[in-house]
């Protein structure tokens, strides 16, 4: 068994981390207020980040689910539904750490599921959070290894699960240098469920005991959308195929739009962060493109070459409208790509760039199934878009392949539930 807090003592790195965060804690409120001024925090809910709840805890057992940002939070939604169906008597608390994820969850969580911002990882905030909510089980997804939160939760008897675990080679190398601290932290989890073999190997090398593989990002239903809105958009784009630049990051909007010019298509740009709308619009207008912005309520006309979908929570609508989706976060190093199952569940042919380390297993399988195409750069993207727009039969074949692949991915939810229910019932 790994050393436990209060038992054989913490590793040097974990002890140092606890001391440093304790010393920094008095500055946290000021830091949070500064972040709120820059739009990084919700000023009305800063208290939650400092561990102060904004709603009462109901009586009865409580399961806590945490995902740091949008992708991780969305991957929790099928688990929420499965838990409610299997154990309707339990309370469910979902936490995340970003404004974007909070806004999304506000729209998509059932009304009887509670949401709070996760506490900053300083001892006092974490203690207040855990003392109030008293979860019986905590499920963290992907790579949320916050030492104070994890160690204090274990000390209070919370049964912890790390689901959809993912750790990059760079992160693993960093943890490796911390010696026994990584082994101690991983040892707090009752179950470690890696996304893939690469993560499993890295976690094992760090001293983790690996459970079954499961990737919650593989689970889910097609995104919802407003049928009347789709009908209106299709009316505006009549006669033009729609190329969607999905979840784009800086530099990708211009690259994708330049690749799609001259094909007689409407270019729809949905930036990963809608607050970049002004920046994206200026960069596209600098290319001489006429841009229609959804966030401004502007009406699309035949003169517009680009429709800028700079709104939150409407990706389902954009995928339903698209004839082809070009996945952002994949054309420059550093981001690592975004989940291709969202467009696949809606039968949209997918094109991706080469930098998809965050979802390399998904993309690899989809490329093998001819449910997606990978391109290296702008010229290759132009050639692939030209071929897909000119050949509806190929698009239909990719649509069928994408739908078939997405339909096969529900096993991960069963795996997580099989590990989770015994902990809840214990």
List active site positions: 72
Contact between 370 and 398 (Cβ < 8 Å): yes
Distances (CA, A) of 259 to 8, 263, 265, 350: 60, 9, 11, 15
Contact between 369 and 405 (Cβ < 8 Å): yes
Instruction: State how far the Cα of 330 lies from the Cα of 387, in Å rounded to an integer.
Output: 20
> Cα 42 from chain centroid?
19
Q: Write b or e for each residue in 281-308: b if 16 or more Cβ atoms lie within 10 A of its Cβ, otherwise e.
A: bebbeeeebebbbbeeeeebeeebbbbb
Strands 189-194 and 159-165: parallel
Measured from the Cβ of residue 316, the count of other Cβ atoms closer than 10 Å reads: 18
Burial grade of 230 (CB within 10 A; 0-12, 13-18, 19 or more): middle
């Amino acid at each position: 068994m790994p050393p436990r807090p209060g038992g054989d003592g913490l590793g040097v790195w974990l002890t140092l981390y606890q001391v440093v965060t304790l010393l920094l804690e008095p500055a946290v409120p000021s830091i949070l207020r500064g972040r709120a001024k820059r739009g990084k925090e919700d000023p009305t809910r800063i208290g939650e980040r400092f561990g102060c709840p904004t709603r009462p805890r109901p009586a009865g057992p409580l399961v806590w689910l945490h995902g740091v940002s949008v992708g991780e939070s969305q991957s929790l939604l099928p688990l929420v539904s499965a838990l409610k169906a299997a154990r309707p008597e339990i309370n469910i608390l979902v936490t995340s750490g970003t404004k974007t994820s909070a806004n999304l969850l506000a729209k998509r969580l059932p009304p009887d599921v509670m949401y709070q911002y996760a506490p900053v990882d300083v001892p006092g905030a974490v203690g207040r959070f855990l003392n109030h909510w008293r979860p019986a089980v905590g499920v963290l997804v992907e790579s949320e290894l916050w030492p104070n939160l994890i160690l204090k939760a274990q000390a209070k008897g919370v049964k912890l699960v790390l689901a959809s675990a993912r750790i990059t080679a760079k992160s693993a190398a960093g943890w490796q240098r911390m010696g026994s601290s990584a082994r101690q932290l991983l040892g707090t989890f009752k179950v470690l469920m890696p996304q893939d073999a690469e993560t499993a190997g890295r976690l094992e090398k760090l001293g983790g005991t690996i459970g079954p593989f499961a990737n919650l990002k593989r689970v889910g239903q097609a995104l919802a959308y407003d049928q009347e809105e789709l009908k209106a958009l299709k009316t505006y784009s009549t006669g033009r195929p729609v190329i969607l630049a999905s979840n784009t990051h800086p530099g990708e909007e211009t690259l994708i739009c330049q690749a799609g010019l001259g094909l007689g298509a409407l270019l729809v740009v949905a930036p990963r962060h809608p607050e970049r709308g002004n920046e994206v619009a200026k960069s596209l207008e600098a290319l001489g493109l006429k841009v229609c912005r959804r966030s401004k309520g502007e009406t699309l006309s035949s003169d517009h070459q680009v429709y800028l979908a700079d709104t939150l929570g409407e990706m389902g609508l954009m995928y339903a409208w698209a004839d082809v989706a070009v996945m952002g976060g994949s054309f420059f190093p550093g981001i690592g790509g975004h989940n291709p199952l969202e467009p696949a569940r809606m039968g949209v042919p997918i094109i991706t760039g080469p930098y998809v380390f965050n979802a390399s297993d998904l993309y690899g399988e989809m490329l093998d199934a001819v449910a997606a195409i990978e391109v290296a750069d702008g010229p290759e993207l132009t050639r692939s878009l030209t071929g897909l727009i000119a050949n509806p039969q190929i698009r239909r074949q990719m649509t069928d392949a994408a739908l078939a692949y997405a339909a096969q991915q529900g096993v991960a939810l069963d795996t997580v539930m099989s590990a989770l229910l015994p902990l809840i019932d214990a």
